[in-house]
Amino acid sequence: MAVAQGDRRPARAGLSLTRTIEKWFAGSARDLPWRRTRSVYGTLVSEFMAQQTQIARVVPAWERFMARFPSIQALASAPEEAVIASWRGLGYYRRARNLHLAARAICHDHGGVVPTSEAELRALPGIGHYTAGAIGSIGHGQKSPIVDGNVARVLMRVHGRDVDSTSSEGRQWLWSRAREFVEDSRSAGAANEGLMELGAMVCTPLNARCTECPIRKYCKAAKAGAQDRIPTVRKRRARKVVHAQVIIARIGGRTALVRRPTRGLWARMLFPPTIESDRVISKGALARRLGVAVDELHLGESFTFLATHREVRFRLWIAGAAASKVLKASHANEWTWHSRKALARASHSSAMSQLLGG
């Protein structure tokens, strides 16, 4: 098997590394619901959910989701609102929409069978190189490589090489090592899951548990005492701060909501009317902008929501009865009014739950 210059290794060393991880995974894998009864559909759902989300949050969400949509056909035929509602608490709702679209494409174009080829998988909404490899190896048993943050860290430490995983050269090196690794496997799914599990549970970013690591004898970073320096901790880009003035207007027990834009945070979801800005808007300026009396706006809760690239600083403004009537008239074509019962049924984010008090 071809390897990059400077990274050549005896064939049996790579084989032993892969088989050791497979054996370790068989005895040390966490008890996760999608591992108890394997299905390609269950793998598809778990991989979408696990993107940028802690496994502890994924477990109950996956179980609820699979109970609501037990098959890919059930998911494909469901309305988007129901899918979004079942995704509640996981965030990054674009993943839910992409999973829904992928399910519909699989049913429409592939007879309800998750495709096996990487090209067909990557043609589905929301599926990139990593997710295609995970579904191919874990779901279909194919020797498809995967690289996520955990895998990249393990591979760099094992090979004693610090690469920039965001660069073209770094990505190419990592995917080449991952392919070598999985090609030596007996069970591609177990090998890949074992590699991810090792990174998540043992070969962690800080304070790696090297004394418990099953592949310590193969690890160049551990031998050099460099495990805490590989990979280099790169400075994270600062989040953009967004100030959000949220208007809570109620008439006759009904609360005003608007549909969010098609792109950005909470895309297409129902949300209380919100004015976003780079700076805090004063109460007087907000009242003038809304066309209501200053004394009809009452400051409520303030809290901060951290997204991947944004820090949203919410300030709630409770509109009085007179202001709510003015706002209903001036936004008749934009705002919709919802009962408490309807709000409970609607799909909405954890941020909206906090804004509306539960």
Residue 166, domain CATH: 1.10.340.30
Judge if 81 and 217 occupy the same domain: yes
Name the percent of the chain lying above pLDDT 90.
74
How many structural domains compose the chain?
2
Last residue within a domain, chosen from 223, 248, 280:
223
Classify residue 58: in a domain, yes or no: yes
pLDDT of residue 4: 39
Is 47 one of the annotated active-site residues of the chain? yes
Band of the pLDDT at 91, cuts 50, 70, 90? confident
pLDDT of residue 194: 97
Nearest alpha carbon to residue 275 among 230, 326, 331, 325: 331
Classify residue 116: in a domain, yes or no: yes
Strand partners, 259: 270
Band of the pLDDT at 94, cuts 50, 70, 90? confident
pTM: 0.77
Judge if 33 and 161 occupy the same domain: yes
Judge if 88 and 127 occupy the same domain: yes
The angle, 0 to 180 degrees and rounded to 10, between the axes of the packed helices 40-50 and 94-109 is 160
Judge if 194 and 126 occupy the same domain: yes
pLDDT of residue 11: 45
Classify residue 90: in a domain, yes or no: yes
Classify residue 233: in a domain, yes or no: no
Judge if 163 and 89 occupy the same domain: yes
Judge if 271 and 201 occupy the same domain: no
Last residue within a domain, chosen from 195, 223, 251:
223
Q: What is the pLDDT of residues 180-210, one digit of tens each?
A: 999 999 999 999 999 999 999 999 999 999 9
Last residue within a domain, chosen from 197, 223, 249:
223
- Residue 285: Cβ within 10 Å count: 14
Classify residue 147: in a domain, yes or no: yes
> What are residue 341's phi and psi, to 5 degrees?
-65, -40
Q: What is the pLDDT of residues 51-89, one digit of tens each?
A: 888 899 999 999 999 999 999 999 999 999 899 889 988
Average pLDDT, the chain: 90
Lowest mean pLDDT among 164-173, 229-238, 246-255, 345-354: 345-354
- β 240-248/310-319 pair status: parallel
| Spatial separation of the C-alpha atoms in residues 196 and 189, rounded to whole Å | 11
| Spatial separation of the C-alpha atoms in residues 139 and 44, rounded to whole Å | 8
Q: Quick check: 258 pLDDT over 50? A: yes
Non-local CB neighbours of 308 within 8 Å, separated by 6+ positions: 52, 92, 239
The answer to whether 90 and 60 are in contact (CB under 8 A) is no
Band of the pLDDT at 20, cuts 50, 70, 90? very high
Judge if 173 and 258 occupy the same domain: no
Judge if 317 and 191 occupy the same domain: no
Q: Structural domain of residue 17, as residue ranges?
A: 11-223
pLDDT of residue 7: 46
List C-alpha distances in Å: 211 to 73, 207, 217.
46, 11, 10
Q: Quick check: 5 pLDDT over 70? A: no
pLDDT of residue 14: 63
Q: Quick check: 30 pLDDT over 50? A: yes
User: Region 307-315: what's the mean pLDDT?
Assistant: 87
Q: What is the 3-state secondary structure (H, E, C) of 77-143?
A: HCCHHHHHHHCCCCCCCHHHHHHHHHHHHHHHHCCCCCCCCHHHHHCCCCCCHHHHHHHHHHHCCCC
Judge if 200 and 266 occupy the same domain: no
Q: Quick check: 106 pLDDT over 70? A: yes
Classify residue 4: in a domain, yes or no: no
Judge if 78 and 209 occupy the same domain: yes
Judge if 246 and 350 occupy the same domain: yes
User: Region 250-255: what's the mean pLDDT?
Assistant: 93
Classify residue 228: in a domain, yes or no: no
User: Region 297-309: what's the mean pLDDT?
Assistant: 87
Q: Quick check: 212 pLDDT over 50? A: yes
Strand partners, 9: none
Non-local CB neighbours of 193 within 8 Å, separated by 6+ positions: 25, 29, 35, 138
Judge if 193 and 339 occupy the same domain: no
Give the CATH number for residue 311: 3.90.79.10
Q: Quick check: 319 pLDDT over 70? A: yes
pLDDT of residue 346: 67
Classify residue 281: in a domain, yes or no: yes
Residues present in the chain in total: 358
Query: Who wins on pLDDT, 216 or 349?
Result: 216
| Spatial separation of the C-alpha atoms in residues 355 and 73, rounded to whole Å | 34
Of the residues 47, 180, 193, 296, only one is catalytic, namely 47
Q: What is the pLDDT of residues 117-154, one digit of tens each?
A: 999 999 999 999 999 999 999 999 999 999 999 999 99
